[in-house]
A and B are shown apart, each in its own frame.
Chain A
Amino acid sequence: MTAAVAERQRGIGSAISDVFFVRPQLLTFLLLTPPLLWIGVVYIGSLFALLLQSFYSLDDFSGLVVHEFTLSTYKQLFEASNAQIILRTVTMAALVTVTSAIIAFPIAYYAARYARGWSKALFYLAVMMPLWSSYLVKVYAWKLILAKEGIITWFANVLHLRWLLDGILALPVVGGPSLSFSYLGTFLVFVYIWLPYMILPTQAALERVPVNFIEASSDLGADPRQTFRTVIFPLALPGIVAGSIFTFSLTLGDYIIPQIVGNSRLMIGQAVYTLQGTAGNIPLAAAFTVVPMLIMAVYLWMAKRMGAFDVL
């Protein structure tokens, strides 16, 4: 019997295949070891080094890092100028996330529910294509669009809406000399750049809501608004939360967009960039980096508490 089964001539390759087939956990182990080592050493390791740095401090006189445990660096975060950077960045990230979610949902809903064939292909193309071109090119393009001599100003003039644009720019805080030198401009570019990261997970979540559920809900007496509130939205929520993790954390950490489009007030990313570079204050840079991580941890914990991942 055994002889009959093993009769066929086998090479070394198929012998290895046989071993893996019989012991799949061996294959899993071999496949996972390199990436786990990479994540463990390079990723977690550097994260740990970062955390360690944030508990050191900078000697003000010598400009050297003092390798002694202290919480004084973290205390510096609460100084008015630093706290303002954090507050500014978190507010911006929150607004960008909420706006992205509001814009993304109808697009994702259309794509998941109605787009078929070519219109679905067009959707993916339209959402993904901005990701194919360089981030820097897009941001600089936006700078030109938003500039005082840019197309938006031009359009405002053509449509005799210059008063509206000037009115918006005259608003306190969000306004500025031109859109490209205002919080509003930074905000618009952030929303544009991160929108695909909100659309795609939302669409994936909506895609997994069977038509059956919507029919069952209407069968049980729910009008479309009630169905949306009680069935579609709760089931799409994990996708929206996943998308918001992207938009929120990407905005929290970005230092290029506010550098190119916006007023000269710093965001967390820019602060880190400046502190680790010219200022050489690695400990404070590290402490600043811990802030987004903490915020994200709290955010995820709250999302979990609210049941956003219950259907996953």
Chain B
Amino acid sequence: MSFMSPAVRFQNVSRRFGSVRAVDGVSLDIEPGEFFALLGPSGSGKTTCLRLIAGFEQPDEGHIEIFGERADGVPPYRRNVNTVFQDYALFPHMTVGENVAYGLMIKGVGRAEREAKAKDALAMVKLAGYEVRRTAQLSGGQRQRVALARALVNGPKVLLLDEPLGALDLKLREQMQEELKTLQTSLGITFVFVTHDQGEALSMANRVAIFNEGKIVQVGTPSSVYERPASRFVADFVGSSNVLPPEFAAAHGGHAMWTSLRPEKIQISSKSNLVPAACAHATGTVTAISYQGAVTRITVATGKQALIAATPAGTDVRKGDSVTLIWPKSAMVAMGEDA
């Protein structure tokens, strides 16, 4: 891998809007063939990064390379990347087929060839036979697929997806997640997608970059960012976490650092005398119970620190019960100092 240039390389890239540093000194390598997620809350700079790759924005500082070629200063229409827009941006004055064939038409591909390719692309996204429809006649999920076909038909080296599933309802979103993954695997194209939904990022991506305030705070595989969050922000943003202050962590067998403890690692017991040696425990009173279908989240006040435990549904606890919380010491992940 090392001799190959990365699909996308950010070298100390900054982009300012007025006095706001939307992207602030970002360096990042996305490898060829990766399904890469840019994850972060709104305003964290992830969308601006995607737009920098697409070429809609140009960096104020730093450099961007796409497959080893310098991309800063290159307009979008000279880059071999394509974008699936958040609201799809399908052209209303063209049919579905014309939309999909648009990029080919611009390149001067002959009518017969581009129609054949558009047909294949539509078949690939399971919309065979939709060529002559108007975009206004399509549902949200279908528009999404057309947008995908319109981008992929050009054979991009990198496919950019801006909140690709944001506008879809839950069932459709889960289905599209699967389809996008399958598509990415079979095409082998680098996919870079932006999302604020951590569940989506974890389930779809090979690697995730987590953004906060214009900076990347952690890059890694979904399991590494989930299991070993580097900062309190990541612990909080990716999944939910009990963020333990250094004193509390130290008193319970951890390091004297800010520490993340995932709710699902905590077990609830009514007895305090059966704690294995490798585990830590705390006793307290149940203050809130939140039923969430597959799991129930139970908030327990233990002295100064409230802890949330996620337990399988059906756990028999009531508000006000005195309980013991037990968790493996190894589940406590010490984090860096920053926010």
Residues of chain A whose beta carbon lies under 8 Å from any beta carbon of chain B: 210, 212-213, 215-223, 226, 230-231, 234-235, 307, 310-311
Q: Which residue of B lies closest to A215 (CB)?
A: B56
B103 & A212 in contact (Cβ 8 Å cutoff): no
Shortest CB distance A293–B (Å): 29
A215 & B76 in contact (Cβ 8 Å cutoff): yes
Hey, what's the 0/1 contact readout for B70-98 against A, CB within 8 Å counting as 1? Answer: 00000111000111010101011100000
B87 & A220 in contact (Cβ 8 Å cutoff): no
Shortest CB distance B153–A (Å): 9
A212 & B89 in contact (Cβ 8 Å cutoff): yes
Number of A-B contacts (CB under 8 A): 62
Q: Which residue of B lies closest to A237 (CB)?
A: B93
A216 & B89 in contact (Cβ 8 Å cutoff): yes
Q: How far is the CA of A230 from the CA of B107 in the complex (A)?
A: 13
B154 & A220 in contact (Cβ 8 Å cutoff): yes
Choose from B55, B81, B93, B107 the contact partner of A310 (Cβ within 8 Å).
Answer: B93
Is B234 engaged at the interface, CB distance under 8 Å to the other chain?
Answer: no
B87 & A212 in contact (Cβ 8 Å cutoff): yes
3 nearest CB pairs, A to B: A220-B103, A216-B89, A212-B89
B75 & A215 in contact (Cβ 8 Å cutoff): no
Question: With A212-B87, A216-B85, A226-B106 in contact, do A221 and B93 touch (Cβ < 8 Å)?
Answer: no
Q: Which residue of B lies closest to A227 (CB)?
A: B77
Shortest CB distance B222–A (Å): 28
Choose from A213, A221, A230 the contact partner of B77 (Cβ within 8 Å).
Answer: A221
Describe B's contact surface by its main secondary structure.
mixed
Count B-side interface residues using an 8 Å CB cutoff. Answer: 23
Choose from B54, B92, B107 the contact partner of A219 (Cβ within 8 Å).
Answer: B54
Question: With A210-B89, A235-B93 in contact, do A221 and B56 touch (Cβ < 8 Å)?
Answer: no
A234 & B93 in contact (Cβ 8 Å cutoff): yes
A235 & B92 in contact (Cβ 8 Å cutoff): yes
Shortest CB distance B122–A (Å): 16
Q: Which residue of B lies closest to A210 (CB)?
A: B89
What are 7 A-B residue pairs whose CB atoms fall within 8 Å in the complex?
A: A215-B54, A215-B89, A217-B102, A219-B55, A219-B76, A219-B83, A223-B77
A221 & B75 in contact (Cβ 8 Å cutoff): no
Question: With A212-B85, A226-B106 in contact, do A218 and B77 touch (Cβ < 8 Å)?
Answer: yes
Hey, what's the 0/1 contact readout for B144-155 against A, CB within 8 Å counting as 1? Answer: 000000110010
Q: Which residue of A lies closest to B75 (CB)?
A: A218
B85 & A215 in contact (Cβ 8 Å cutoff): yes
